Amino acid sequence: MDLTVKFDGLELKNPLMPASGPLVGDTEKLLFMRREADVGAVVTKTVSQKAAKVPKPAIYGDKHYVQNSELWSEFDHEKWVDEFLPAYKKDNDRPLIVSVGYTKEDMEVLIPKLDPFADAFEISTHYVGTDLAAIGETVKTIRRHTEKPVYMKISPHLPDVEGYAETIKEAGANGVVAINSLGPTLNIDIEKRRIEYGGEDGFVWTSGPVIKNLALATVRKLKTAAPDLTIIGVGGIASAKDVIEFLLAGADAVQMLSAALLKGKDLYKRIIDDLPKTLEKYGFKSVQDVKETTLSHSVSYEDDVPTLIEEKCIECMLCKKVCPYFAITFAERITFDPDACTSCGLCVSVCPTDAIKMERLG
């Protein structure tokens, strides 16, 4: 099974790479991603002019999300230029994407120093605001200092996704990394009566599976608005199936970090190993085959009715409990009231054994 992806002169042996964050914060971690995780490309933690002052504790993990107040790299850019990146590049066999933040003034200083080590740049403007003109000027500044591919990382609080795509394209960017973490968000400890895991303002940023659908939608919007931009999807990926979904939405490659914080660092290798059989399961011949697939979309206002597949039903009653229209009852078997049912589809999506299907009335 061919897992390779190519874009902007870069070739990745598989479409998965780490997202910028705590798992890629120094040479040792970068080498782990290359040697043990076996990712298609390696991304660094975001490098800025000054080292970040990180509040402790900084990372909170729950079942479906991570809350993080870690900010950018806790090392200054001199440490990266003088130590981390030269040590990593001694034995480099796959693309290195250097993440950089945040302002136009930062780029004037950082890009020339980091350019000898980077195969591409990822640029975070997480703390810059929503002014597209300022973001465009940041891209132009970067482009004056490098010919390497430049991918701008979009934050979910930006209101105009399509305008963002057009702005960075005109300014010289090659593509978008979508999306950055969601926030600000809040973590409260009831017993201690206090806010946990935040900086001075008490707020943190949320990532992980909980933001997957928002990330997918942003990827779709970007690819629709600017089909020739490279899109790197990130936000909620936790399985080979998730990788395929992002590729179908329009991503050229993907990044993951939060799920590895929740499930273990070996998740990268597990996903890569699972990808061939998952592609085969869904009828794809390669990663490129997924990328070339056009998603269908149709809207119907016709009524459907749920139908029970009795041999699959385990009588857990979940469908009856969750039905918002009180259309499901149980008397020896699950029964659907066609007069009360509005064809919302919730019962189909929550059934743990796929024992309910929707059929067209008439």
- Residues 22-41 pLDDT 10s: 999 999 999 999 999 999 99
Q: Predicted confidence band at 362 (pLDDT cuts at 50, 70, 90)?
A: low
Q: Predicted confidence band at 353 (pLDDT cuts at 50, 70, 90)?
A: very high
Q: CA-to-CA distance for 5 and 173, rounded, in angstroms? A: 19
Query: pLDDT (tens digit, 9 = 90+) per residue, 36-89?
Result: 999 999 999 999 999 999 888 999 999 999 999 988 999 999 999 999 999 999
Q: Which two tokens stand for residue 176?
A: 């978008």
* pLDDT (0 to 100) of residue 184: 92
- For 303-358, give the DSSP string: -EEEEE-GGG-----HHHHH-TT--EEESSSEEE-TTT-----HHHHH-TT--EEE
The proportion of the chain whose per-residue pLDDT surpasses 70, expressed as a percent, equals 99
* pLDDT (0 to 100) of residue 361: 65
Query: pLDDT (tens digit, 9 = 90+) per residue, 277-298?
Result: 999 999 999 999 999 999 999 8
Mean pLDDT of 274-278: 98
CA 201 to chain centre: 26
* pLDDT (0 to 100) of residue 196: 85
* pLDDT (0 to 100) of residue 126: 81
Q: Is pLDDT above 80 for 92?
A: no
Mean pLDDT of 108-125: 97
pTM score of the predicted model: 0.94
Q: CA-to-CA distance for 105 and 107, rounded, in angstroms? A: 5
What average pLDDT does the chain have? 95
Q: Is pLDDT above 80 for 360?
A: no
Q: CA-to-CA distance for 323 and 329, rounded, in angstroms? A: 10
* pLDDT (0 to 100) of residue 267: 98
Domains observed in the chain: 5-291 (3.20.20.70), 304-360 (3.30.70.20)
Query: pLDDT (tens digit, 9 = 90+) per residue, 206-247?
Result: 999 999 999 999 999 999 999 999 999 999 999 999 999 999
Please give the helix or strand (H or E) that residue 28 lies within, else none.
helix 27-35
